[in-house]
């Protein structure tokens, strides 16, 4: 399993990805997250499980497709397929600020040390790191900026109101 940070601390990742589209009568036990397509197809069945549940969204998916179920989801995984594609920043902001989602929002894929501070400002609180990244360096990146001027998901008031 790769390196994982949650709430600015190294953590153990107990979640399992599951496609949810297998021709299986039984769902796996434990905490799982499924692609949006599987969520739509097997939602009622998935909700009968006694473990935590999450959904992984492509960066092209509309977060409004899970609005009605946000209170049932413990995890939303957002993907960064490559460094130059930042649509997941917008998805995180919509989830935190507009939809008031309180659960874990995890960044996966091309999660870069230089961007974790900004990801956190947009609402991410968990990060799955690539194997080539140094965990301690990434943890230090959260504190590279000491003052923020605008309000965001992590501190909602702008500097002039603090």
Residue 32 has pLDDT above 70, yes or no: yes
d(CA 94, CA 105): 11
Interval 136-148: pLDDT, tens: 999 999 888 776 6
- Residues whose CB falls within 8 Å of the CB of residue 22, separated by 6 or more in sequence, listed in order: none
Band of the pLDDT at 72, cuts 50, 70, 90? Answer: very high
Tokens at 138, concatenated: 């990434």
pTM: 0.89
Range of the domain at 83: 3-161
Ramachandran sector of residue 7 (left: φ over 0; alpha: ψ -120 to 50; beta: rest): left
Number of domains in the chain: 1
Across 7-11, 19-23, 121-125, 134-138, least confident range: 19-23
Give 51's DSSP letter.
S
64 or 1, which is more confident: 64
Interval 101-154: pLDDT, tens: 999 999 999 999 999 999 999 999 999 998 899 999 999 998 887 766 676 677
H-type alpha helices, the chain: 36-47, 87-93, 116-122, 135-141
Distances (CA, A) of 2 to 10, 65, 129: 11, 29, 7
What CATH number is given to the structural domain containing 124? 3.20.20
Q: What's the pLDDT at 26?
A: 72
Q: What's the pLDDT at 28?
A: 81
In the predicted model, what is the mean pLDDT of the chain? 89
Residue 1 has pLDDT above 80, yes or no: no
């Amino acid at each position: 399993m790769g390196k994982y940070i949650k709430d600015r601390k190294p953590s153990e990742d107990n979640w399992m990805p599951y496609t949810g589209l297998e021709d299986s009568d039984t769902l796996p036990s434990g905490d799982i997250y499924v692609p949006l397509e599987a969520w739509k197809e097997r939602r009622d069945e998935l909700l009968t499980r006694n473990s935590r549940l999450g959904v992984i969204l492509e960066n092209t998916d509309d977060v409004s497709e899970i609005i009605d179920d946000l209170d049932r989801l413990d995890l939303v995984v957002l993907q960064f397929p490559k460094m130059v594609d930042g649509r997941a920043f917008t998805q995180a902001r919509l989830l935190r600020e507009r939809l008031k989602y309180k659960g874990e929002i995890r960044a996966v894929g091309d999660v870069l040390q230089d961007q974790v501070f900004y990801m956190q400002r947009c609402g991410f609180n968990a990060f799955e790191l690539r194997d080539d990244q140094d965990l301690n360096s990434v943890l230090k990146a959260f504190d590279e900026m000491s003052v923020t001027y605008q309000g965001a998901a992590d501190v909602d008031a702008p500097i002039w109101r603090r």
